[in-house]
Amino acid sequence: MQQNLRAQLLDAYDSQLRSASETPSAASVELMGPLRLVTFAGGRGFITYRDLGSLTELQVRQLVPTALDHFQRDLSISRVEWKTRAHDAAPGLGQALLDNGFVADDTETIMIGDADALATEVPLPDGITLRTVVTESDVRAMSAMQDEVFGDPVSEEMAVALLNRMARRDGMQLWVAESGGIMVSAGRLEPVPDTQFAGIWGGATRADWRGRGIYKALTAARARAAIVLGKTLIHSDSTEYSRPILERSGLIAVSSTTPYRWRR
């Protein structure tokens, strides 16, 4: 039963999410064989695909440098991400990426499940409140908090990207949990047009606030918002920290994804 459900969810993921819906904020997209070569504002390239068909290992090894060259020729591109999935038939891809200067990032688990399974009432610790953020100052504060939690330098890049997304009014929602006006946890909800799905992304909770149910409550709030928008499935690329919370809420691990990153 569980294996059948996993197969159904994975098929929905592949058929509904691995297309233009995967990159709603793209500045431009070019097709190269099975690949989608996506350019984002801020000098970021992104490579994805529905599948690689029946390409041989030799053909895969030839495809990688050709795709990378597309971005290398554009001097405004400073970095490129190639998103791989563990369930794909992609002979030799990982080694080909390493041979062309990409570096493997942490692997994350692809989790999918019914929105209803997440949309439970979760008691909040005293003094914690949840809300959406819409003002530029709040978006910048949220982005800075997430950078700090992830151990990254606070930068303008994500804040600007989020503000640009909000200006397009594509349905994205930004949620935070606060204590005394201080943001202690945050995450995005991204409904995917013309699909059953909404994604939950960017989950970050300050270390001294973890283990109190705050992230679970924030996730439940986003799931309830997704249901209001008519979405029935939730998906997420989950870290080792968020995966157990989503599993306890009924989401299922259907595969994994490893991003490979190249920097100029």
Q: What are 210-241's pLDDT values in tens digits? A: 999 999 999 999 999 999 999 999 999 988 88
Same domain, 104 and 148: no
* Residue range of the domain that includes 121: 113-256
DSSP string, 84-97: EETTS--TTHHHHH
The answer to whether residues 139 and 97 belong to one domain is: no
Residues 229, 148 share a domain: yes
pLDDT greater than 90 at residue 99? yes
**128 and 227 fall within a common domain:** yes
DSSP code of 44? E
For residues 98 and 127, state if they share a domain. Answer: no
Does the pLDDT value for residue 174 go beyond 70?
yes
Given pLDDT bands bounded at 50, 70 and 90, which one contains residue 25? Answer: confident
Q: Binning pLDDT at 50, 70 and 90, where does residue 6 land?
A: very high
Mean of pLDDT values over 249-262: 94
Query: What's the pLDDT band for 1 if we cut at 50, 70, 90?
Result: low
Would you say residue 70 has pLDDT above 80?
yes
Average pLDDT of the residues in 112-132:
93
Domain membership flag for residue 230: yes
DSSP string, 146-201: HHHHTTPPP-SHHHHHHHHHHHHT-S-EEEEEEETTEEEEEEEEEEPTTSSEEEEE
